[in-house]
Amino acid sequence: MDEEPGTQNPAANVVHGSPTNYELFILGLTVYSLAVAVAIVVAANPAVDSILYWTDLLVCLVFLVDFLVSLRQAPSKMNYFLRQGGWLDLLGAIPAVPGLPWTALFRLARLNRFARIIQGMRAGDQHEAVAESRGTRAGTVLLSMLLFALVLLTVASLVILRFERSAPGANITSGATAFWWAFVTMTKVGYGDYVPVTDLGRLLAIGLMTFGIGVFAVLTSYLASKFVIQRNDQEEAIAVVLKENATIRAELAEVKELIRQHGQGDQ
């Protein structure tokens, strides 16, 4: 069955067309998740492990949403789950269990999604992909910022722990507190329960807060652009309806005039 103009089937796009910005975001997140999984397996520091496990949990939440969206949009849910590797997408969304580092290898199941996106990149028109990215520049920037934010969250947690854990009077001395501090600082919440005491730690805090302002600005502009586009679409639709109404009224007036003339002729 043909699709209506303007609609898009994400599942079909992966196989037959160029990948969307969202799929490229998932592609980059998959690569990052594999790097985190390898780090979990080889890391021997409990504090570092804690940061990596929290990072893996956040990534898996995104993967779980991606699986649910793909399952919902699939024309045949059973075919997607069994034949297209949907069960692998679900397996790859299971977070690693602390104390069992080998469970991080579940992320290898995400290679199925990785392969489908790569297949779409090879089968699709690269010029079309570039044109789409330019046409949805706000969405591209937002997804890029979100991916970079996840990477920065992990790196900042590791760095602040390195700076603070041995400093006199410091309270950011564990992986969990370092991850919490990096998250609330980046989101500009700033509870103040954990604060850096070293100069390098405070410099890192300035960088995180500045980046957080940038993410908030990008998100705000993205939402604003969506509302503007939606409003413009509504105004265009209203204009079309008014034009059609005017045409119908003109045709009715012509019909009435013909009927009137026909009635006079019969007399």
For the 1-134 domain, the top CATH level (class) is mainly alpha
Of residues 238 and 232, the one with the higher pLDDT is 238
Mean pLDDT of the region 127-147: 65
Q: Under 8 Å CB-to-CB from 209, ≥6 apart: which residues?
A: 185, 186, 188, 190
Chain-centroid distance of CA 171 in Å reads 33
Q: How far is CA 75 from CA 1, 23, 51, in A?
A: 11, 18, 39
- Determine the average pLDDT of the residues in 10-30: 66
* Average pLDDT of the chain, as a whole number: 78
Query: In the prediction, which pLDDT does 266 show?
Result: 57
Could you say which DSSP state residue 17 is in?
S
Higher pLDDT, 119 or 35: 35
**pLDDT value, residue 119:** 82
Summarize the confidence of residues 64-69 as an average pLDDT. Answer: 92
What are the backbone dihedrals phi and psi of residue 9, each rounded to the nearest 5 degrees, phi first? -100, 105
Q: How far apart are CA 262 and CA 49, in angstroms?
A: 91
Alpha-carbon gap, residue 260 to 87, rounded angstroms: 71
- Which residues contact residue 88 at a Cβ distance below 8 angstroms, ignoring those fewer than 6 apart? 109, 110, 112, 113
| pLDDT for res 15 | 37
pLDDT at 154: 92
Please report, for the chain, the start and end positions of each structural domain, with discontinuous segments joined by +.
Answer: 1-134
Q: How confident is the model at residue 57 (pLDDT cuts 50, 70, 90)?
A: very high
Task: Between 267 and 113, name the one with better pLDDT.
Answer: 113
Where residue 247 falls among pLDDT bands split at 50, 70, 90? Answer: confident
Question: What is the structure's pLDDT at 68?
Answer: 92
Helix (H, G, I), strand (E, B) or coil at 238: helix
Question: Is the overall model pTM greater than 0.85, yes or no?
Answer: no
The pLDDT value given to residue 265: 59
Higher pLDDT residue, 172 or 234? 172
51 touches 153 (CB < 8 A): no
Is residue 129's pLDDT more than 60? no
- CA-nearest of 73, 74, 112, 115 to 90 is 112
